[in-house]
Amino acid sequence: MGKKKEKQHETEQNGSSFSNEKHPKKKRKKGEKPKDQQNDCVSLANEIPTVSIALPGSIIDNVQSFELATRLAGQIARAATIFRIDEVVIFDNKSTSEDASTEIIENSDENESGAAFLMRILGYLETPQYLRKSLFPKHSSLRFVGLLPPLDAPHHLRKHEWASYREGITLENLDQGSTGSLVDVGLSKNVMIDQVLEPGKRVTVAMGTNRQLDAGLPRKIVPSSRPREDGMYWGYKVRYAPNISSVFKKCPYQGGYDHRIGTSEHGLVINSSELTLPSYRHLLIAFGGLAGLEECVEEDENLKGKNVRDIFDLYLNTCPHQGSRTIRTEEAIFISLQYFNEPINRVKN
């Protein structure tokens, strides 16, 4: 999978950096975040503990066919959802420390890099079915996604289901004088929200209690993290990091990841029931590729002279006495997330 690129607009939305946002954005001041990201930053300050996983995009590069690569990406999406992961970071081993997210997510042909492929499929699967057509233009990398089992996450609501929140997409505003916008939230009718937003934007709508879609007050847009604050799992975000040091440096959470765990067969063996995690705010669990995290750290110029034990608070073997000589990354993700499940729940409670 090579690196040919075409143009695709980017927008940071829940779930992924992909969108077919058709309207040019207003110019922002240098360093200023788009409005929806500003919202997210505010909400992140509310400090619901988060769990992120990081894994290399290179795990896709060694897969023999598109179908198998798609299945692998699907397994990672399932693992992230089953274990309520908030953020999936896909890293490369590039020498640049520039955040090349815009480049990596630019529309590309079937030769796109493993990282771009993985991000596209993860983002697609995280998006509720009724929004996919609008947010994901046709792409050859998506040709086998129909084979994948659905994530069946709580925000993947069906037409007849009512929930306190729904993911939606803002629609073209036909009424010039209107003080609100219409949003397609995957119900039989579109709902009105109390602010005018550019069309093509993914939003989280607080549905309120009035189930009548025609009548009543317009509904409110909330930060995509709000359902989490109410205890619901609301999908994962997908982020790109050009190298492993950028996984940490570009952490979107205030104060960064305050507990970092690396996984490896060379790690420490601790029984899951005896593992005590500190009361973290933002936990990161990292996985390596074919040659492990050790090589990822060695190859990163920003980490010269450092080894895995310098950059992680814990370096753990989550599957001691393995029978196979190698545990593949996608297998290690399931094994490790199950291993961490109980220690994480103990911290939460």
Residues in the site for ligand SAM, rule: CB under 6 A?
Answer: 263-267, 287-288, 290, 292-294, 317-319, 322, 326-329, 332, 336
Cβ at position 286, least distance to ligand SAM in Å: 7
Can you tell me the distance from the alpha carbon of 7 to that of 23, in angstroms, rounded to the nearest whole number?
14
**304 vs 321, which CB is nearer to ligand SAM?**
321
**181 vs 317, which CB is nearer to ligand SAM?**
317
H or E element in which residue 115 lies: helix 114-126
**183 vs 332, which CB is nearer to ligand SAM?**
332
**102 vs 326, which CB is nearer to ligand SAM?**
326
The Cβ of residue 179 has, within 10 Å, a number of other Cβ atoms equal to: 10
Identify the bridge partners of residue 87 per DSSP, sorted by sequence position: 52, 237
**213 is written with which tokens?**
């879609």
Cβ at position 215, least distance to ligand SAM in Å: 53
Can you tell me the distance from the alpha carbon of 56 to that of 51, in angstroms, rounded to the nearest whole number?
17
Cβ at position 272, least distance to ligand SAM in Å: 12
Cβ at position 294, least distance to ligand SAM in Å: 6
**317 is written with which tokens?**
């073997």
Q: Assign residue 57 a region: left if phi > 0, alpha if psi is -120 to 50, beta otherwise? A: alpha
**16 vs 329, which CB is nearer to ligand SAM?**
329
Question: Are the beta carbons of 41 and 77 closer than 8 angstroms?
Answer: no
Cβ at position 72, least distance to ligand SAM in Å: 13
Cβ at position 84, least distance to ligand SAM in Å: 20
**136 vs 340, which CB is nearer to ligand SAM?**
340
As to burial, measured by CB atoms within 10 angstroms (0-12 exposed, 13-18 middle, 19+ buried), residue 97 is: middle
Can you tell me the distance from the alpha carbon of 33 to that of 41, in angstroms, rounded to the nearest whole number?
9
Q: What's the number of CA atoms in the CB half-sphere (13 Å) around residue 136?
A: 25
